[in-house]
Amino acid sequence: MKLTDWYPPSIKPVHKGWYHTGLDNYSPNDAKHESDYNWWWNGSEWGFYHKDDWIKAMAQDRYWRGIAKD
C-alpha cells in the first residue's frame, strides 16, 4: 500500500474517501500510534458506515495520510 506523508489534524483532506490515520488523536511518531483501521472522511468528519448508518469516530482530530490508488 502506497501512502502519502502524514498531515496534522489542522489540515483536513480535500477529497472524500478512505485514509490511513493515527490512533485516536495521537501523533503517529511510531507504528504503535497508527490506527489498525482506515477511516472514511465524508468531507466534514471521520467515521465509517455500518449497515447504511453513519458512525462518527469519537476522535476527530486525527493525523492522516492518503492511500494511493493502484
- Span 10-29, average pLDDT: 90
pLDDT value for 55: 94
- Provide the grid cell at 66: 492518503
Residue 31 scores a pLDDT above 80: no
Name which residue leads in pLDDT, 28 or 43. 43
How far, in Å, are 14, 27, 46 from residue 50 at the CA level?
A: 23, 27, 14
pLDDT value for 59: 92
pLDDT value for 70: 63
pTM for this prediction? 0.84
